[in-house]
């Protein structure tokens, strides 16, 4: 483990995670802070207060930051880089603050449905896994807005967005379809998730619109415990997301694995749905991938 060489930061909408890193990107120390939404107008102050003691000990270090810190409501706006994009293009498009802080851009593309699409933050996770990918690989980054990206020979070709997590949250909180579980049992919920997945596997080409009401009707008919309706909904949504992506990407899919990058809780759910649909997966922790991507950019810029 070497000495401190740079600071890496993932500054999303709701959280900031800063790492003091050695030259290999190994975290020597960590600080957590407020997300970009809460830091409007005081990004510099927030950053300085969290890194002051690192500065005193090591002098001012280079910094690589990704996430909403580079959005229109961020510290500086780091414009989207159009796909296809490689690591060096993303590095070259970083926006610099105070000569030593590099804010990563997001990516844009025309997606496979003919619509404009964007991501911000996930480009860094993609950079973090580029080295371990097959020559042609599908990467899924599950979240509020799940991203499906096609990567070929080190190049992020294109991607599209499925607001699977957001849809789940708004339906659970605001619809009559799946009320929040009260006193839910983890085993019963896991079983309900698997039933939701199995429902999609049985009729994979059904429009998810025509399956959502099941969460309620199965509860009303006594076929599903009310506390498990949300887990059933989650299974329906994630399996529909996976099968729909497979169909949309039929030509891009290779017989290999789908690489899942994100919070382990989420990648595990996607891995279960993928397995039920006959797809192999490889899971990578999103925080690890992000730090690896920030390290890659540090190497390119130093």
Q: 294, exposed or middle or buried, with CB in 10 Å at 0-12, 13-18, 19+? A: buried
- Strand pairing class (116-119; 136-141): unpaired
Instruction: Confirm or reject binding of residue 123 to a copy of itself (CB under 8 A).
Output: no
Cβ proximity to a copy of itself: between 130 and 236 the closer is 236
Cβ proximity to a copy of itself: between 104 and 162 the closer is 162
- Which residue has tokens 């497979």? 246
| Least Å from the CB of residue 54 to a copy of itself | 34
| Least Å from the CB of residue 246 to a copy of itself | 10
**SS3 of residue 212 by DSSP:** coil
Instruction: Confirm or reject binding of residue 164 to a copy of itself (CB under 8 A).
Output: yes
Count of residues near a copy of itself by CB under 8 A: 48
Instruction: Confirm or reject binding of residue 213 to a copy of itself (CB under 8 A).
Output: yes
Which backbone phi and psi does 241 adopt, to 5 degrees? -60, -50
x/- letters, 225..254, toward a copy of itself (CB under 8 A):
------------x--xx-xxx-xx------
| Least Å from the CB of residue 139 to a copy of itself | 16
| Least Å from the CB of residue 208 to a copy of itself | 6
User: Which of 57, 48, 24, 30 shows the shortest CA–CA distance to 101?
Assistant: 48
- Which residue has tokens 């939701």? 196
Instruction: Confirm or reject binding of residue 302 to a copy of itself (CB under 8 A).
Output: no
CA 244, 246, 251, 252 dihedral sign is positive
Instruction: Confirm or reject binding of residue 145 to a copy of itself (CB under 8 A).
Output: yes
| Piece of 18-26, 50-58, 90-98, 215-223 that binds a copy of itself (CB under 8 A) | 215-223
| Least Å from the CB of residue 295 to a copy of itself | 29
| Piece of 47-55, 59-67, 132-140, 218-226 that binds a copy of itself (CB under 8 A) | 218-226
Give dist(CA 231, CA 236) in Å, integer: 9
Question: Which 46-85 residues touch a copy of itself, going by CB under 8 A?
Answer: none
Within 8 A by CB and 6+ apart from 80, the residues are 105, 106, 107, 108, 118, 120
Residue 90: count other Cβ atoms within 10 Å of its Cβ: 25
Show the tokens assigned to 34: 């407020």
Q: Which residues bind a copy of itself (CB under 8 A)?
A: 108, 113-118, 145, 160-164, 166-167, 170-171, 173-177, 199, 202-203, 205-214, 217-218, 220-221, 223, 237, 240-241, 243-245, 247-248
């Amino acid at each position: 483990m070497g000495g401190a060489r740079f600071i890496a930061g993932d500054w999303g909408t709701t959280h900031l995670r800063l790492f003091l890193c050695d030259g290999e990107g190994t975290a020597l120390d960590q600080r957590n802070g407020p997300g970009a939404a809460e830091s409007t107008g005081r990004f510099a102050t927030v950053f300085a207060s969290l890194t002051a003691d690192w500065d005193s000990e090591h002098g001012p270090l280079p910094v690589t930051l990704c996430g909403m810190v580079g959005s229109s409501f961020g510290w500086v706006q780091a414009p989207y880089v159009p796909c296809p994009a490689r690591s060096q293009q993303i590095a070259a498009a970083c926006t610099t603050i105070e000569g030593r802080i590099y804010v990563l851009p997001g990516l844009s593309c025309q997606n496979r449905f003919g619509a404009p699409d964007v991501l911000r933050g996930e480009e860094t996770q993609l950079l973090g896994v580029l080295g371990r990918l097959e020559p042609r690989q599908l990467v899924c980054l599950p979240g509020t807005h799940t991203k499906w990206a096609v990567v070929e020979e080190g190049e992020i070709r294109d991607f599209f967005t499925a607001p699977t997590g957001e849809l789940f949250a708004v339906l659970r909180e605001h619809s009559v379809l799946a009320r929040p579980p009260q006193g839910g049992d983890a085993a019963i919920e896991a079983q309900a998730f698997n039933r939701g997945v199995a429902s999609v596997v049985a009729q994979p080409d059904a429009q998810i619109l025509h399956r959502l009401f099941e969460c309620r009707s199965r509860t009303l008919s006594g076929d599903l415990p009310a506390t498990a309706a949300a887990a059933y909904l989650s299974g329906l949504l994630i399996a529909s997301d996976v099968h729909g992506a497979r169909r949309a990407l039929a030509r891009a899919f290779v017989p290999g694995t789908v690489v899942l990058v994100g919070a382990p809780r989420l990648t595990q759910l996607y891995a279960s749905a993928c397995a039920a649909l006959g797809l192999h997966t490889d899971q990578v922790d999103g925080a690890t991938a992000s730090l690896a991507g920030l390290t890659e950019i540090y190497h390119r810029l130093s």
